[in-house]
Structure 1
């Protein structure tokens, strides 16, 4: 089935969304203009602190503890058969919505080239050079380095095939460009020994595909040059700009042109900093932190280093807050707070977290990174595939990371007033996270007012997250997917009506009372008119050490259908119709008490055939639905969760 411009929204490729907060801070532009940058940027690549390729002693020292692993990874690709990505693989996106048909072979090629490159840096004997030449040449032979899923919203020709006369800079094109720029920096002489055309073509490709279009175009949506307070600017902005910045810094030798390009990236990245909330929370969730705050850090790290520290934002409280969000959102046992498209499993890129902690002088971040490293005890996790800059930087901090004392944040409560996220941790083992927000956030789900609950660092009441990305995920069909719908979150269905998508559908009067251990929000504005809601106040609170309360106080304009209250569980609940539901959670059994006279509970088993969901939750989740037994236009619903 083919798609049209009306059916394919590509939500995150369009900049027409309303932001929850926006302030024209322009922090980067206040740091320096073009003329100052021309003087500040260290010339002749003197900002690069890694050893030269020929400095074998330097590389032996830099790769201490990781050299053998880097070489081993590269050796697996010495006989690698490079994938050809056919036109039909690109077209599959518009035919069926499948992205992976194109992305998988392309990604394998990029990971192979990165592993070969890093192995050659570590070993330095030329053993990997021929295969690196093959990878570079193949990359240059490709029409584009962008993904099939990203062409439709970025090209004037509406197709998932790359329009060969129109360059597209997306996440992957930027990553590949940055990687190739580092290949040129370190291995130009080695490539020239094979054939000078290889490096010449590499540099020409970087100029034609990245540097020229970035300077000439201002309509890549992620550049956000024309952003207004109503424009959504998400992780694409710092992610793409960090790659563009690296490419210019490594390739452009004209100091004036370089200063102009760097300043242009600063103007663009300022749009992201203006958009994000000063409280530091990532509305896209912890699994996107590495691409949002983490990529902003990579950008700022490059900028700070390239200017000898003269242009930096690492002393800004907002930048520190954005970093520490990842540590504060960790629940335990590998579980994290997840809303919207974020996964419930993870922790973040430990090397980036540690480097961020060093830059902003945060023991919280450094000790959290050490915890992740010690928990996984897997040095190979410091390698980041085609993101070779992160891998190179991780080599520089590996010894410090290993030597750092591990620790986790155990604050009783964390409150993000602008993003409207609230976390509360109880000494008895409960962890709660709730959100206010609105139904047009980045990677949005219709979930204003939802929550999750964990016991002894294991899930009890959960948020499913998102399945494998397809065309439908970022189209007008998005909210036909069950994971996006409010009735598959821990929320009510009012008068038979779930929440609706759009900026006007939101939580209001969102409040956190630390003393009372209570988080509350009015949800009436999150539902469309047909729900006939006059008021719906939801409150979450802890009473004493043992009880967690969920309370809905509501008034309807009319009672047209039986209200429902839904909860999503990892384990199959056991219903006792006397008013108790038992949930056998891995962290310990908990019970959920309800009004047996007021509700009829039912259980729906949700099979998880999607690997992105099943690798987190197993083969199924369960929706526990409480359907009201009476039509009421006014009342209170109460649920109590406590350990058994």
Structure 2
């Protein structure tokens, strides 16, 4: 069926997938969110069991809503699913339940996903109007107000003053829901929403880096932009007209490693697709460079949570216009992040501190790409569990220091804490590119007097020089290099496919592997090479040769 409005080139796959998903949603029954699934988190810390069903229901809702919008006609299956979402006992996730998890408190508790659901439902009735049955429209308006808008107005929420994605998503989604419904609460809510968004923006340093990683940039900054554009359409005020916002908009380009790759610093994935409409809007409005679009265009399945905000703006805002390409090198001085790209190869490293949002113990960590593929890697986000967001976080390999490419000194790994910070000693752009980081404060071992790690990058070669000073003579050091590719340890060499490290004396190399669970809960085998030696004060240089 033709759409009631013209689509730009490049959205063919997206629209085709929407239609396939809409047919599936009409022809099969949506799974139920049961009490047994809810209890799994309290009983075992398992988040995925409930969330898999929750996001399957949001996937169906997004597909039916987009299809009804594209086709300009009513859909009884959409009416039924809207009513079913209104019947859900809560819109939050078990991991975000209020203290005590009283069922009576869940219904009007506002977390990320309650706010997202309110936004989806509010825009559904605003967008489709009388193509949704009158009784369903009225029910949706009542539930959005009762579950989200009224609770936000009636109390202060912790996320209103936080400096990370929660402030942007919760406030932005609630604000867009109020705008879509032309809520009578709008005048009371808008100042609160804007104050929360200001808190969110304060979490990014002047260089615009998102310390939560690129996936949370798309999430938090995406919702900020979506609300800002909705507010501009309503009032003419432009929250994007700000130098700090422009710097934040340029972050994906700064860390882009080409071919859809980016460093998976913090809780992130090393390969992914940013929302296409979001990037095109930022490129068009702010004239910032953005990563290249994938050759086959955006997909309905790019976001595993199937958020309406991303999907709808991909439909509405994707232009297909030529994007300004990222520069070959970038440096984010406040975050201590450097990234460099060359033909088929790339490199990125980070400083920062060890109390960043979604923190990993990774000061001085780096990634290295060759032949367009990751060689030395960052393991990124693990499966989210109760323990991962508690005191056992750093027992998870993906967050632990000994599964990042950083040294262990006298058997001691890096420690968490804001005071455990890297200091940028030097940054020299060009060929070669140089970044020097003082990592001394990251460690608590009394044997360490100084550690400065210097990266020197040029196409075809990366030198990692660790300058150690010790108290009390020689010290045992373990240099760790992490990959998803199985290393081959030879006589005086280690190779990972096209990349070779010549192991200097007196270091001895041993390969290790471990099975971990990725962010999607699937097991994967990861690898590290451990170079071990007892060394005196001095500088050790490790040279990686690339094609």
Does the CA-based 8 Å contact 2:403-2:482 persist in structure 1?
yes
Does the CA-based 8 Å contact 1:143-1:164 persist in structure 2?
no
1:417 aligned partner: 333
TM-score by length of 2: 0.92
Larger relative contact order (CA 8 Å, sep ≥ 6): 1
| SS at structure 2 position matched to 1:339 | coil
Cα distance change, pair 538–181 in 1 and its aligned pair in 2 (3 A): same
2:476 aligned partner: 562
1:581 aligned partner: 494
| SS at structure 2 position matched to 1:483 | coil
Cα distance between partner residues in 1 of 2:501 and 2:226: 45
Does the CA-based 8 Å contact 1:568-1:622 persist in structure 2?
yes
2:213 aligned partner: 285
1:359-370 matched pairs, under 5 angstroms: 359-362=285-288, 364-365=289-290, 368=291
For residue 506 of structure 1, report the CA deviation from its aligned partner: 1.4
Cα distance change, pair 609–278 in 1 and its aligned pair in 2 (3 A): closer
Cα distance between partner residues in 2 of 1:641 and 1:384: 36
Cα distance between partner residues in 2 of 1:445 and 1:102: 26
Does the CA-based 8 Å contact 1:520-1:540 persist in structure 2?
yes
Cα distance between partner residues in 2 of 1:559 and 1:166: 62
- 2:109 paired residue among 137, 152, 168: 168
Cα distance between partner residues in 1 of 2:218 and 2:160: 19
1:232-311 matched pairs, under 5 angstroms: 233-254=163-184, 257-307=185-235, 309=236, 311=237
Does the CA-based 8 Å contact 2:204-2:248 persist in structure 1?
no
1:86-165 matched pairs, under 5 angstroms: 86-126=34-74, 128=75, 130-151=76-97, 155-157=98-100, 159=101, 162-164=103-105
Is it true that 1:477 corresponds to 2:414 in the alignment? no
1:4 aligned partner: none
1:198-217 matched pairs, under 5 angstroms: 198-217=136-155
Cα distance change, pair 300–186 in 1 and its aligned pair in 2 (3 A): closer
Deviation by residue 1:525-560 (Cα, 9 ceiling, x = unmatched): 1012x3532111111113x65432111111122368
1:621 aligned partner: 526
Is it true that 1:61 corresponds to 2:6 in the alignment? yes
Deviation by residue 1:398-430 (Cα, 9 ceiling, x = unmatched): 4x31xx236642x33211111111113356x54
Cα distance between partner residues in 1 of 2:472 and 2:333: 33
The Cα RMSD (Å) is 2.6
Query: Structure 1 stretch 61-70 or stretch 514-523: which is displaced more?
Result: 61-70
1:643 aligned partner: 546
Cα distance between partner residues in 2 of 1:388 and 1:574: 45
Does the CA-based 8 Å contact 1:114-1:385 persist in structure 2?
no
1:481-520 matched pairs, under 5 angstroms: 481-514=396-429, 517-520=433-436
Cα distance between partner residues in 1 of 2:103 and 2:281: 36
Report the number of matched residues: 543
TM-score by length of 1: 0.79
Does the CA-based 8 Å contact 1:464-1:613 persist in structure 2?
no
Runs of 4+ in structure 1 off by over 6 angstroms are 382-385
For residue 623 of structure 1, report the CA deviation from its aligned partner: 0.5
2:439 aligned partner: 523
Deviation by residue 1:600-629 (Cα, 9 ceiling, x = unmatched): 1100022345474869xxx4222111000x
Does the CA-based 8 Å contact 2:172-2:197 persist in structure 1?
no
Cα distance change, pair 395–430 in 1 and its aligned pair in 2 (3 A): closer
Cα distance between partner residues in 1 of 2:521 and 2:86: 35
Is it true that 1:432 corresponds to 2:369 in the alignment? no
Is it true that 1:317 corresponds to 2:263 in the alignment? no
Cα distance between partner residues in 2 of 1:62 and 1:583: 44
Unaligned runs of 5+ in 1: 1-55, 225-231
Is it true that 1:222 corresponds to 2:142 in the alignment? no
Cα distance between partner residues in 2 of 1:559 and 1:287: 44
